[in-house]
Amino acid sequence: MTASISGFTFLRNGVKLGFPFEASVRSLLPLVDEFVIAVGAGEDATRERLLAIGDPKIRIIDTIWNERMAERGFVYAQQKMIAQYACTGDWAFYLEGDEVLHENELPAIRASVDRHHGDPEVEALVFDYLHFYGSPHWLAVSPAWYRRECRLIRNTIRSYAPDGQFWVVMDRHRQGRHPKAALARAHIYHYGHVRRTEYMQAKLDQVSKYWTTGAPKVHYGNIDAQALKPFEGTHPALMQAWLDSEAEQHFAPDPAHVLTRRERKHRWSMKLERALGLDLSHKHYRLVRPD
């Protein structure tokens, strides 16, 4: 029997904050049997634009965010789980509003689900990340950026999200763990850090309310040039219009930028990675099927 897949995400003010959420949703629709979206009450036409996609797979859950929840992104966890708990598929695919799948990789993802569905040891599938930074022509590659993350998880196990980004499996009394995973052999294209500066500032202003930190002033050039490399691939076809109109086009690291303590640490980490063949980025999974 073919495994069923539910897509899910949460959104609020996606238009106002410059998310390429329509391309994100459309990129996943061919792969899933349903797409559950928790849409928070906002100040723009996010809900209307989702409905305008016109796909019967889309199921919207209207929500109201807890504006008093400022504890390390837990409001994102709440919204993520509202959508996930409404999913009915064997597997649940979480895709954030600034993440997109490449049309050329959809068959590989489907094949990976089919290959691992009968193996109970595999609880999640891990994707390689392409974090675009500054403009669509650059990638952030230092260990400061998670290089792999779970985005597909079995919908038949006890899991929850502590802060929206990752999952914890709760199969032991009062004790959580990272999911056991296999590689999906596909990428997530992450465009959150190439949106126009005014969108990015608005997004950081919102995020800061839920992470108990102040929002910094956005200046993409304030980054270690050694943490970047040129992008030499192709973008998903669905992203082209957004990249042409909503993304920053001209970017270069500021030569006067003074490295932060964190950036100096990551420079040393990258040297160790090159010398020892390691990956020192943070991981929220335990790889049990590396092939």
What does the domain layout of the chain look like in residue ranges? 1-291
The top-scoring range by mean pLDDT among 20-29, 59-68, 75-84 is 20-29
Instruction: Assign domain 1-291 to a CATH class.
Output: alpha beta
How far is residue 76 from each of residues 96, 175, 210, 233, measured CA to CA in Å?
11, 21, 8, 31
Residue 290 has a pLDDT of 80
Residue 215 has a pLDDT of 57
For 7-38, how does the pLDDT look when each residue is reduced to its tens digit (9 = 90+)? 999 999 999 999 999 999 999 999 999 999 99
Q: Taking the CA of residue 132 as centre, how many other CA atoms within 13 Å lie in the half-sphere pointing to its CB?
A: 27
Residue 258 has a pLDDT of 95
Q: Please provide the average confidence, as pLDDT, over all residues in the chain.
A: 92
Dist. CA 41–CA 129, nearest whole Å? 30
Residue 246 has a pLDDT of 93
For 196-218, how does the pLDDT look when each residue is reduced to its tens digit (9 = 90+)? 878 777 766 666 565 555 556 77
